[in-house]
């Protein structure tokens, strides 16, 4: 087994999803009901929660584990 990768999906080396340290900056495309929003990640659209921030379409937000924790001031 030594030298072989463990089976199943693994995190890529640039992105740890358990810690906010490498949280992702994304752009809000549209706000959705229930505190959710569709965002542009640069590699496609994803739906995340924006319930904890005051974000509008066009804003860049910092998302960690599917939850926006800050609006980035550009």
Partner 1 sequence: MRFVDEFRDADKAHALAAKIAALCEPGRQYKFMEVCGGHTHTIYKHGLEDYLPEAVALVHGPGCPVCVIPMGRVDDAMALASDPDVIMTSFGDMMRVPGSQGSFFDAKAAGTDIRMVYSPLDSLKIARQNPDRQVVFMAIGFETTAPSTAMTMLRARAEGLKNFSVFCNHVTIHPAMKAILDSPEMGLDGFIGPGHVATVIGCAPFEWVARDYGKPVVVAGFEPLDILQSIYLLMLQLSEGRCEIENQYSRVVPWDGNPVALKVIAQTMEPRPTFEWRGLGFIPDSAMQVRESFADMDAERLFSVPGVRVADPKACQCGEVLKGVLKPWECKVFGTACTPETPIGTCMVSPEGACAAYYNYGRMNRTRVPEAAQAGRS
Q: Closer to partner 1 at the Cβ: 17 or 30?
A: 17
Do residues 45 and 39 touch, judged by C-beta distance below 8 A?
yes
Among 37, 45, 57, 62, binds partner 1 (CB under 8 A): 62
Tell which residue, 6, 11, 10, 36, has the closest CA to residue 21: 11
Q: Applying CB under 8 A, does 67 fall inside the site for partner 1?
A: yes
| Residues at the contact surface with partner 1, assessed by CB under 8 A | 1-23, 25, 34-35, 42, 48-49, 51-53, 60, 62, 64-67, 69-70, 72-74
């Amino acid at each position: 087994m030594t030298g072989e990768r463990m089976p199943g999906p693994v995190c890529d080396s640039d992105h740890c999803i358990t810690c906010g340290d490498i949280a992702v900056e994304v752009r809000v495309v549209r706000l959705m009901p229930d505190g959710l929003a569709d965002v542009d990640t640069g590699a496609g659209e994803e739906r995340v929660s924006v319930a904890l921030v005051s974000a509008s379409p066009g804003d860049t937000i910092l998302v960690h584990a599917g939850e926006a924790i800050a609006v980035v001031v550009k």
